[in-house]
Structure 1
Amino acid sequence: MPLFARESRRYLTVSELSQIIKGTLERELDALWVVGEVSNFRVPPSGHIYFTLKDDKSQIAAVMFRRQGTSLKFKPEDGMEALCFGRVSLYQARGDLQLYVEIMEPRGKGALYLAFEQLKKKLGEEGLFAAERKRELPFLPAAIGIVTSLHGAALRDMLRILHDRFLARRVIVRPVRVQGDGAAQEIAEGISDLGGSGLVDMMIVGRGGGSLEDLWAFNEEVVARAIFAAPVPVISAVGHEVDFTIADFVADHRAPTPTAAAEMAVPRREELVEELESHGSRLLRAMQSRAESERGAWQGLARRLSDPSRRLRENQLRLDELSLSLWRRFRDHVARLSDRLAHGSERLNGLSPLAVLDRGYSIAQKMPEQSVVKDSVAISIGDLLRVSFARGRVLCRIEQKE
């Protein structure tokens, strides 16, 4: 039945018409699920989320206000298939039909799974999972920090293991909520508080098992960044062996359970005693081997020095032999030099003018030039000559030439 008869000629203003449409839509379409592809996704500074939900034939504008948007576990993206729950209404200022979304989930994959994969990809690209930044655990930590709930079985199990394995270790517990609203922020603050206190050498961060939703606080970015910034090594111990969280990827070491984390943190006293005894035995054997080696060296030296007088006599005989050999070599060398000298003297004597004089010859020198006269042509009557004999010299003047 029409709201108004044609004949009544009753008119509506645009605002009145918009209000009627708005009321009708909100009455009839106040709670429904809509599936479609996300496009034109944007988040202005106000924090409200605006996008278009469409299929191959139609589209509708959609808005998710900031209060509902903060509960999203994943980041919507253009092209993503989404399931949206909400109501349809009219934005009267522009006359636009809009879907006001209260709940939004990715179609096909769960919202938590998608959020996990998105954050894992983001932090991995930033280097928070890099193997080269993983730190070794201290061998015997003086104090161990634990960030977990005071009321869970996980804390009791860890304290029991730490007590049984090495009683002397000091444990500092920072109690936090491990699930529910605000749990992630508490865990991050607990990690920062313990790490910044300077009181612990390492930390265990974790809780017992549960559903994906129960463990979700350990998949939050704020917890991951707190672990990454911790100044001491961190063991993550969340849930059971099959459970993996973002905290596991960021931590320096991952334990499959809280109990395993406590076992990883400190050695068993018996194992430590056995290892110390083994090291002691190896050290003793090494010392004994070194002592035997040194003893052998000293014994050899003692044998060489056992009879110094005998060694002295042997060295004296050796010295006498060397002296005699040296004298013989010197004597032979002198004899050879004497022979060479005598032979050289004979040759020199044979070439000497004195040897000619010894055979009865004489040497005549024209004076005063002292030139040797070799031919009578070189002298004249009246020249003064000096005649040298083997023994003595005379001066004579030429009176006659033949």
Structure 2
Amino acid sequence: MSEIKYVTVTALTKYIKRKFDVDPHLTDIWIKGEISNFNLHSRGHMYFTLKDEKARIQAVMFAGTNKSLKFKPENGMKVLLRGEISVYEQSGGYQVYVKEMQPDGIGSLYLAYEELKKTLQKEGLFDSVHKKPIPKYPDQIGVITSPTGAAIRDILTTINRRYPLAKVILIPALVQGVQAGASVAEAIKMANQLGTLDVLIVGRGGGSIEELWAFNEEIVAREIFASQIPIISAVGHETDFTIADFVADLRAPTPTGAAELAVPHFSELMDRISERKNRLKRSIQEKITSNKNRLNHYQTSYAFKYPKQLYLQKEQQLDLVVERLHKEGQRAIIHKKDTFRHLENRLANVHPKDQVNRSKEAYESLMNKLNREMSSVLTQKHSQFKETIAKLNALSPLKVMDRGYSLVYHEKKLIKSINQIEAGQILKVQLKDGNLDCQVQGIEERTVNE
């Protein structure tokens, strides 16, 4: 039986935490519920329980995140929040780490805002590549806002103070209510049809999400994106963000800030002009001084004082150069002629006809040498052949037969001893001029010494 392996509580808790952290359904989740047991820590963190009729979950919203809240959470308040679910290892309990939170009363608007924001972002309406640059020195500035609101007063005051040269054209629009979105979109379209505006400020003062909702409508976002005039959005306060802010070419935290971004400061321009004027004066003075020094140098130079002597000197130098050029030309011509003759001789040596003649002579010489060598080899081989024939004749058994000898065979075997035959056997005797078939009648042995 295998041994049971136990895990520690820490290991088990870490394993469960990893399961929570990798689940995509838990890393970005929207929850609604009621706040209870709310506790604001001295360090700014918010701890509370989120509950409904049948369940509850612990929640925490850290100080760095809850600074952007526009309301004060309280016990019994119903909220909509976005966050991630994870495990707090020390207690082993799971809880929601809150990233955003809104009162449930405006939850539907907030969800619509987030949905439209994601859609337009996917389409690329927020991409920086589509952002148009804001002109540095605009002549005409269009402002789309309510003609009676505080925003237009702040914008006009700021522009008149900073850059009175610019002309401000107000294009009135509704900035709050059911018809506000269509009104703002129509005003943007009208501003583009004028064809004289350099930059456009679109916005209004601060307010709740319902009051700013016109700038979260899709019709306004798409009209801002389609505008040929660079647009600065100026909606609400610094902490307010609308869809118009993300689509616009530049976002200003407030209407006053939009006016400051739209125009330069007149006094700063005057300071810059004065500085460049001084730099230009110094540059011109330095140029005049430099040219004066060059003129003085030319006036005191030898050429300026003694032009005739310089002319005669240059004439003499010219004669020397012409003479040197003539010599160099002659030398170059001679060198080229020598080179040509050398190449001509080399070409004559490698002419095909001469090469053929030389090859023919070499061929004939080699053939004569080959014939001589062959004749010598044949003579030598003929002498060797005759000598070999003479040796063969001397050793040939046929020559021995000429002296009366013969060869005896029995069944094609040469008989050299009487021990190889028996009486009565048929033998073949080969003589000089023919063969004899003989029968052995008797055998007589003879000693070697006899």
Q: State TM-score, norm by structure 2.
A: 0.46
Q: Secondary structure at the match of 2:132?
A: coil
Aligned partner (choices 240, 251, 266) of residue 254 of structure 1? 251
Which one of the candidate residues 158, 162, 184 is aligned to 1:161? 158
| Residue of structure 2 in register with 1:274 after alignment | 271
Aligned-residue CA RMSD (Å): 3.4
Q: Percent identity?
A: 47
* Correspondence for 1:204: 201
Deviations 1:73-117 (A, max 9, x none): xxxxxxxxx9xxxxxxxxxxxxxxxxxxxxxx9989922222122
Summarize the alignment of residues 60-71 of structure 1 with structure 2, pairs less than 5 Å apart: none
Match of 2:126 among 129, 146, 151: 129
How many angstroms does 1:225 deviate by? 0.7
User: 1:199 offset after TM fit, Å?
Assistant: 3.1
TM-superposed CA distance for 1:142, in Å, is 1.6
User: Residue by residue, what CA displacement relative to the aligned partner does 1:45-99 show, whole Å, maximum 9, x if unpaired?
Assistant: xxxxxxxxxxxxxxxxxxxxxxxxxxxxxxxxxxxxx9xxxxxxxxxxxxxxxxx
Which amino acid in the other structure matches residue 167 of structure 1?
P
Structure 1 residue 216 and structure 2 residue 213: aligned? yes
Query: Partners in 2 of 1:234 and 1:266 — Cα distance?
Result: 13
* Offset of residue 196 of structure 1: 1.5
Code of the aligned partner of 1:166: Y
State the partner residue of 1:243. 240
- Contact 1:235–1:261 (CA under 8 A) maintained in structure 2: yes
Tell me, yes or no, if the aligned pair for 1:196 and 1:231 is still in contact at 8 Å. Answer: no
Name the SS of the counterpart of 2:305 in structure 1. Answer: coil
Q: Paired residue for 1:112, among 86, 109, 114?
A: 109
1:110 aligns to what SS in structure 2?
A: helix
| Distance in 2 (alpha carbons) for counterparts of 1:315 and 1:202 | 67
SS of the equivalent of 2:232 reads: strand
Q: How many Å separate the matches in 1 of 2:104 and 2:168?
A: 46
Per the TM alignment, residue 260 of structure 1 is displaced from its structure 2 partner at its CA by 0.8
- Structure 1 residue 257 displacement after superposition: 0.4
Equivalenced residue count is 227
CA distance in 2, matches of 1:154, 1:318: 84
Q: Does 1:188 align with 2:194?
A: no
CA offset at residue 185 of structure 1?
0.8
How far apart, CA to CA, are the structure 2 residues paired with 1:160 and 1:120?
33
Return closer, same or farther for 1:309/1:212 CA change in 2, 3 Å cut-off.
same
Instruction: Please state whether the residue corresponding to 2:169 is helix, strand or coil.
Output: strand
Alpha-carbon separation, structure 2, partners of 1:199 and 1:317: 72
Task: Name the CA shift for 1:126/1:106 in 2 (closer, same or farther; >3 Å).
Answer: farther
Which amino acid letter does the alignment assign opposite residue 139 of structure 1?
K
Task: Flag structure 1 segments of 5+ consecutive residues without an equivalent.
Answer: 1-34, 36-81, 83-104, 330-402
TM superposition shift of 1:298: 3.2
- Cα distance between partner residues in 1 of 2:262 and 2:104: 42
1:17 matched residue in structure 2: none
- 1:275-310 per-position Cα deviation (integer Å, ceiling 9, x unaligned): 111222222222333333333333333323222244
Q: 1:227 aligns with which of 217, 224, 234?
A: 224
Q: Is 1:179 paired with 2:179? A: no
Aligned residue number for residue 144 of structure 1: 141
Residues 7-26 of structure 1 aligned to structure 2 (within 5 Å): none
Mapped to 1, the partners of 2:174 and 2:297 lie a distance apart of 75
| Structure 2 counterpart of 1:307, one-letter code | Y
Residue 315 to residue 141, structure 1, CA distance change in 2 (3 Å):
closer
Residues 176 and 190 in structure 1, CA contact (< 8 A), matched pair in contact too: yes
Letter paired with 1:193: M
Distance 1:157 1:312 in 2: 78
- Aligned in 2, Cα 1:127/1:311: closer, same or farther, shift over 3 Å? same
Distance (whole Å) between structure 2 residues aligned to residue 288 and residue 235 of structure 1 = 44
Equivalence for 2:62: none
Distance 1:291 1:132, change over 3 A: farther
CA drift at 1:273 = 0.9
Structure 1 Cα separation of the partners of residues 295 and 219 of structure 2: 69
The structure with the greater share of residues assigned to helix is: 2
1:285 aligns with 2:278: no
Report the Cα distance in structure 2 between the residues aligned to 1:171 and 1:269, rounded to whole angstroms: 16
Could you tell me how far apart the structure 2 residues matched to 1:143 and 1:187 are? Answer: 19
Once residues 104 and 314 of structure 2 are traced to their aligned partners in structure 1, the CA distance between those partners, rounded to angstroms, is 104
Go from structure 1 to structure 2 and tell me whether the alpha carbon gap of 1:252 and 1:317 turns closer, same or farther (over 3 Å shift).
closer
Pairwise CA distance, 1:169: 1.8
- The residue identity in structure 2 corresponding to 1:300 is H
CA–CA distance in structure 1, aligned partners of residues 220 and 106 of structure 2: 24
Q: Distance in 2 between matches of 1:218 and 1:319?
A: 85
The C-alpha deviation readout for 1:134-172, integer Å capped at 9, x for no partner, is 111122222111110112111111111111122232111
Name the amino acid aligned to 2:197: V
1:297 to 291, 294, 298: 294
Q: 109-118 or 144-153, which moves further after superposition? A: 109-118
What SS is found at the alignment partner of 1:244? coil
> Any stretches of 5+ residues in structure 2 without a counterpart?
1-31, 33-79, 81-101, 328-450
Could you tell me how far 1:314 is from its partner in structure 2? 5.1
The residue that corresponds to 1:308 in the other structure is 307
